[in-house]
């Protein structure tokens, strides 16, 4: 392999991963992105121009459609710096002989840490307290401990399991939906497999770590929010489409639930929800971040290296680790489902 062009449409791609690609005969190029804009906003034509002649692509949130794949005949491997791949047409990639990889195992700790941080910030009312202090009001707002609370985790993939480890230090009672439950893992970690109605009704915090599919879209809708306790908080560090943000906004404004920690929003994929996102972010009982849960320095370095290694493996004729491969058109191997 010599001089294979690899395009990186991501910020914060660290020098170690760039060096790794170069050491293995690749020519990495970091695409210039407009200030404040991720690759998910790039048009089909813009992506075609950036990726012309590329053998490898390290991608963030761009939509990888069949039309795009067809327009890039030289592209052999699409490597996501992340674990979700709902924006990649994996079936089309397999049909066209391409390989699609994810950075499995790279950001589990970072996202789980972020979810815990959101729970603590909401429970102890950090946002409200600092706003009040900035205005000269130093009166104490009573908050709530995470210690001893009931946490419903929807999705026990790598990130969900990392969250379980952290919650053990808070002596939390953990629920997971019975239909999603690995009984052996649950027994080993004192997790209770319950009906979704029970999880919604009894959890103090509900943390979402599920993939976005037709079945999980708007999993948390108006009906689900009505089942939650008024003192409960919802955490979403997975995918925006798991939650009906309009219903969530109404629930938060009416006091139907106590708060929400949101790292991702429906508006990321549907601009008609932009005003809803703005209203959510402005609420005192919302802790928000711009899809940044995985973006710690350490987490990005880990996922950068996994993404780079997957590119090199494919271009050198090898198969990346099984947990990283979601489509492999070289062998017509079926792609598999991946939870976050």
Which residues are known to be catalytic? 239, 268, 291
Cα 51 from Cα 73, distance rounded (Å):
10
Cα 211 from Cα 80, distance rounded (Å):
15
Degrees to nearest 5, angle at CA 229 with 224 and 233: 85
Are the CB atoms for 69 and 328 separated by under 8 Å? Answer: no
Cα 91 from Cα 229, distance rounded (Å):
41
Are the CB atoms for 31 and 9 separated by under 8 Å? Answer: yes
| DSSP 3-state of 333 | strand
Residue 211 phi, psi (nearest 5): -75, 155
For the record, the structure tokens of 180 come out as: 């999603």
For the record, the structure tokens of 100 come out as: 């699609």
């Amino acid at each position: 392999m010599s001089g294979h062009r690899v395009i990186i449409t991501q910020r914060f791609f660290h020098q170690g991963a760039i060096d790794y690609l170069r050491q293995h005969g690749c020519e990495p190029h970091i695409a210039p992105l407009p200030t404040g804009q991720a690759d998910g906003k790039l048009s089909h034509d813009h992506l075609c121009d950036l990726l012309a002649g590329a053998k490898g692509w390290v991608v963030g949130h761009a939509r990888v459609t069949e039309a795009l794949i067809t327009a890039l005949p030289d592209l052999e491997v699409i490597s996501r710096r992340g674990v979700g791949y709902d924006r990649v047409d994996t079936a089309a990639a397999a049909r066209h002989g391409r390989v699609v990889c994810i950075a499995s195992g790279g950001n589990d700790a970072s996202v789980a840490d972020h979810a815990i941080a959101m729970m603590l910030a909401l429970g102890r009312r950090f946002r409200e307290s600092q706003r009040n202090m900035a205005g000269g009001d130093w009166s104490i707002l009573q908050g709530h401990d995470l210690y001893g609370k009931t946490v419903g985790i929807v999705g026990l993939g790598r990130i969900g399991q990392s969250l379980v480890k952290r919650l053990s230090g808070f002596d939390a009672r953990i629920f997971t939906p019975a239909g999603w439950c690995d009984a052996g893992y649950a027994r080993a970690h004192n997790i209770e497999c319950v009906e979704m109605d029970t999880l919604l009704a009894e959890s103090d915090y509900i943390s979402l770590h599920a993939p976005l599919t037709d079945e999980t879209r708007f999993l948390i809708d108006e009906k689900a929010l009505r089942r939650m306790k008024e003192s409960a908080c919802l955490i979403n560090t997975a995918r925006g489409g798991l939650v009906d943000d309009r219903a969530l906004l109404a629930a938060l404004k009416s006091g139907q639930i106590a708060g929400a920690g949101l790292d991702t929003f429906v508006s990321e994929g549907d601009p008609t929800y932009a005003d809803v996102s703005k209203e959510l972010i402005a609420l005192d009982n919302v802790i928000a971040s711009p899809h940044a849960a995985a973006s710690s320095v350490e987490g990005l370095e880990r996922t950068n290296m996994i993404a780079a290694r997957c590119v090199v493996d494919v271009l050198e004729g090898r198969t990346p680790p099984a947990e990283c491969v979601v489509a492999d058109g070289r062998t017509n191997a079926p792609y598999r489902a991946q939870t976050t």
